[in-house]
Every structure is written in structure tokens, then in C-alpha cells.
Amino acid sequence: MKAYQADIAKFDATDTQVFGMSVDSVPANREFAKQLGVTFPILSDFKRTVVKDYGVFNEEQGFGNRATFVIDKDGIIQHIDEGNEAIDPTKVADTCNVLMHKKAAATP
């Protein structure tokens, strides 16, 4: 999340809303955000329904994975980073850039 924070201006420039998400409570996430200096909102999936929808949580093992999804303006997933790949936001930022230019090309 720190890496995303460092690149937050880049994401703002590509018309992108960045969210963190965890299964911790809102107060726990606030503490976490404070420690890391994260300014973007961190969503609290306390009931663990969304992490299951996104397939990043294994209920039996109570074990989760790190993953980043890029969702375009049509609500379609355009890029997925999983596991250690998800630490580096470069590919995600590139995707957002491409999406912005795609949109720019479509509007004369």
C-alpha cells in the first residue's frame, strides 16, 4: 500500500480512484493507514463477502492473498496482479494510463 501511496498523484492524473481493502475493522484500518501514511480510503470488508467474491480469501484455511484489480469505467476488470506481483504498482499504473488514453482517443 505504501507503493500505491507514493504513486497516488499518478493515479489521480489518470482519473482513477485507488482503494485499499482488508477484512479488518474500520478503526484497525485507520490505525494501519496512519502508520503507513496512506491517504486513500481503505475499505473494510469485515464480513469477508467481497474478498470471497474476488476469490482472494480461502474460508476453510482463513487464509488470504494479496491482489490488485483494475476496474474500468464500464465496471470491467482490465488488469489483475496477484501475490507478490501485487506489491509493485507499475503494471497497474500502466493499465490506468492506457485506459485514460483509450478514453481520450474515443472522444474527439
Partner 1 sequence: MYTRSLICLVLLAVFSVVALGQQAPPKTNLKVGDKAPDFTLRATDGKTYKLSDFRGKKNVVLAIYVLAFTGG
Interface residues with partner 1 (CB under 8 A)?
1-4, 11, 14-24, 26, 28-30, 32-33, 41-45, 49-51, 53-58, 61, 63-80, 82-83, 86-87, 89, 92, 96, 99-100
What CA–CA distance (Å, rounded) separates 71 from 40? 17
Three-state DSSP class for residue 107: coil
CB 68 within 8 A of CB 84: no
Three-state DSSP class for residue 63: strand
- Residues whose CB is less than 8 angstroms from the CB of residue 9 and which lie 6 or more positions away in sequence, other chains included: none
- Minimum CB distance to partner 1, residue 81 (Å): 9
- Minimum CB distance to partner 1, residue 30 (Å): 5
- Minimum CB distance to partner 1, residue 108 (Å): 18
